[in-house]
Amino acid sequence: MAPHTEQLSRPAAVRLSGLTRSFEGRTVLDGIDLDLPAGQFTALLGHSGSGKSTLLRAIAGLDHEVAGSGGLTAPERVSVVFQDSRLLPWMRVLDNVLLGLPGKDAADRGRAALAEVGLAGRERAWPGELSGGEAQRAALARSLVREPELLLADEPFGALDALTRIRMHALLRELWERHRPSVLLVTHDVDEAIVLADRVLVLDRGRIGLDLTIDRPHPRSYREPLLGEYRERLLAALGVTEDHA
């Protein structure tokens, strides 16, 4: 089944209509209309300052005191993964995962989530004892344990080294396939977007400049030649011309 027909058949998890946001008179988001179907893995590309994070924060409901208008619907259970792991240094890893999670079986679910991201046995560690990759895994566990319908990720791998990043890509995709939340991954890394997402949006001057469906099987390799076409289209949309010397 092609993703296009899938998109039509599935209800929208996130719906933006004429979403506008501005800071001190400068329009950052300029009337965005966008549907994110339930369960779709979408990547959002853009230059720094293009409004990627503003869009993500608007969907997350984190943009207090930002002037704006437009319609916005999002699911009830939304999790956010930030660029920094944002673990509270005074709580052990398991308690960080359980932050704000109600229920008697919360601890068991937290342990299961940690095991899922490969951190079984580190429940009692302090965040200061984790490596950057481990901390980001714990952050993923914290967002997954809440069984989100929508997972928003704001450059979650931006601060990791290249090797760790590749491993985290595989992990994120694997977790998505198992839990099927809608994902909106904000990134500035074109390759990351192509390898992970089924749909890539390019945000340009506050509008969606390109909406590209990537209809290739997973897992994808960075070397896959067909992905090169997507890469060039995305780079062109970002205003980067590659010099084939």
Partner 1 sequence: MSTTSTTTPVAGAAPDPAPGAADPAPTRERPVRRRRRLSPGRRLPAARLAGPVLLVAVWAVASAAGRLDPAAIPAPWTVFRTGVHLWTDGTLPSDVLTSLERAAYGFAIGLTAGVVLAVASGLTRTGEALIDGTVQLNRAVPTLGLIPLFILWLGIGETFKIAIIAIVVYVPIYLNTHAALSGIDQRYVELAEVQGLSRWAFIRRIVIPGALPGFFVGLRLGVTGSWLGLVVLEQINATSGLGYMMFQAQNYGRTDIILVGLVVYGIFGLLSDSAVRLIERRVLSWRRTLSS
Binding residues for partner 1, per CB under 8 A? 60-62, 78-80, 82, 84, 86, 88-91, 99-101, 126, 128-129, 142, 146
Based on CB atoms, which residue is closest to partner 1, 146 or 199? 146
To the nearest whole angstrom, how small is the minimum distance from the Cβ of residue 123 to partner 1? 15
To the nearest whole angstrom, how small is the minimum distance from the Cβ of residue 84 to partner 1? 7
Determine how β-strand 67-73 pairs with β-strand 41-45.
unpaired
To the nearest whole angstrom, how small is the minimum distance from the Cβ of residue 90 to partner 1? 4
To the nearest whole angstrom, how small is the minimum distance from the Cβ of residue 124 to partner 1? 12
| CA dist., res. 152 & res. 72, Å (int) | 15
Structure token pair of residue 79? 């999790």
Residues 6+ away with beta carbon under 8 Å from 116: 141, 144, 175
Based on CB atoms, which residue is closest to partner 1, 55 or 234? 55
Asked if 17 and 29 touch (Cβ cutoff 8 Å), the reply is no
Based on CB atoms, which residue is closest to partner 1, 3 or 68? 68
Based on CB atoms, which residue is closest to partner 1, 78 or 203? 78
The secondary structure of 132-172 as a DSSP string is: HHHHHHHHHHHHHTT--SEEEEESTTTTS-HHHHHHHHHHH
Residues 6+ away with beta carbon under 8 Å from 63: 21, 54, 57
Based on CB atoms, which residue is closest to partner 1, 160 or 195? 160
To the nearest whole angstrom, how small is the minimum distance from the Cβ of residue 93 to partner 1? 11
Element (H, E) at 94: helix 93-97
